[in-house]
Chain A
């Protein structure tokens, strides 16, 4: 998949995270802000990179403001933002690219 335009998913509420994606400039550029960055920063980055890799995304600017989201929420918000950036809302690949 490619990121065609900028899009956001998620909120700044507790247990959530807000993910903003934009078309990249030749690579993955991740900016992470988190209330638990010293405890879980590496884990959050790992989940983000895995999710992007699964979707075949190699060119993206992604910024995340995390408010203590679980891994499943991070995945949901990253995928939500990427699919929004593609304008795709139907016949989604549940269990395939999304899992």
Chain B
């Protein structure tokens, strides 16, 4: 039941309040890779019920032009999350985001409800993916078991606001308070073969600070970043766009590995650098990023 979309490109995941029609009617014009329709923190406690109707009809009626539609459900400690999942799955969402994940058991509990909702609403088995948000010290320490809890899970995301409160510190804008969590999560995600996403940057007046933040997490190995405003999207995409040299090299690596594999050669050099099969996936990823960024070449259709 492995779903091909587990590995899709997710440089930007934009949060939108599912209860606000003005926000959810046309976010595709900003071209984020994914949107996260939020039933959790953005929705007031006394609007949780009607937000689901808004979510359901948006999912059913609006053409999001291929952008991935993730639904952030309420946390498993609330009375809302089961119905949130039923609504999201019935509406046709691509994935469900589980907040405040602290154990593999959390993921399996949510997965069981996703499973039964897929059956109830006639969706193919395994079509709805899961991602988990890590928002506590315990969640960070349990990151690997969370990443390995389900074949549906495509990635984990750090949620910095709640995490820093749990750590008894606060968001400083320097990233110091997030260092350990970021490093831990990205290592756990890579060890498990899933993706890893960074937390939001909430100061919309400090675009330079945002840029530095994205440069840092890009170098750390994150697959992308959660964003809260369309203005942040282009900066992330720009930083995640490989250089022309990187792309040329990746293309050579792919061609050479394909060719050498035919003739039984495992290790060889490209532009003076030692290359083997271990470089293949990385080179493919570089090409995928280049394509997504508009650096398209027909010969890359390989």
Contact = CB atoms under 8 A, between A and B. Distances in A.
Nearest to B80: A89
A75 B48 CA distance: 17
B49 interface: yes
A78 to B, nearest CB: 9
* Interface bracket on B: 20 to 34
Interface in A31-73: 69-73
B213 interface: no
Given A72-B57, A72-B61, A75-B57, A94 B121 contact: yes
Contact of A16 (B22, B83, B87): B22
A1 to B, nearest CB: 14
B212 to A, nearest CB: 34
Given A16-B22, A73-B21, A84-B49, A94 B57 contact: no
Nearest to A70: B25
B202 interface: no
A3 B48 CA distance: 20
Contact of B25 (A10, A15, A77): A15
A99 interface: yes
B62 interface: yes
A13 B83 contact: no
A94 B86 CA distance: 8
A9 B60 CA distance: 19
B50 interface: yes
B113 interface: no
Given A71-B61, A72-B61, A9 B50 contact: yes
Interface string B21-61: 11001000000000000000000000011101110111011
Contacts of B22: 13-16
Given A70-B61, A89-B83, A76 B49 contact: no
B87 A72 contact: no
Nearest to B58: A72
A90 interface: yes
Contacts of A72: 57-58, 60-62
B83 A73 contact: no
Contacts of B25: 15, 70, 73
Nearest to B90: A94
B20 interface: yes
B91 interface: yes
A76 B50 contact: yes
Contacts of B83: 89-92
B90 A76 contact: no
Interface of A: 9-10, 13-16, 69-73, 75-77, 79-81, 83-84, 89-92, 94-95, 98-99
24 contacts: A9-B53, A14-B22, A16-B21, A16-B22, A70-B25, A70-B61, A72-B58, A73-B25, A73-B57, A75-B53, A77-B53, A80-B54, A89-B48, A89-B49, A89-B83, A91-B86, A92-B83, A92-B86, A92-B87, A94-B56, A94-B86, A94-B90, A94-B121, A95-B121
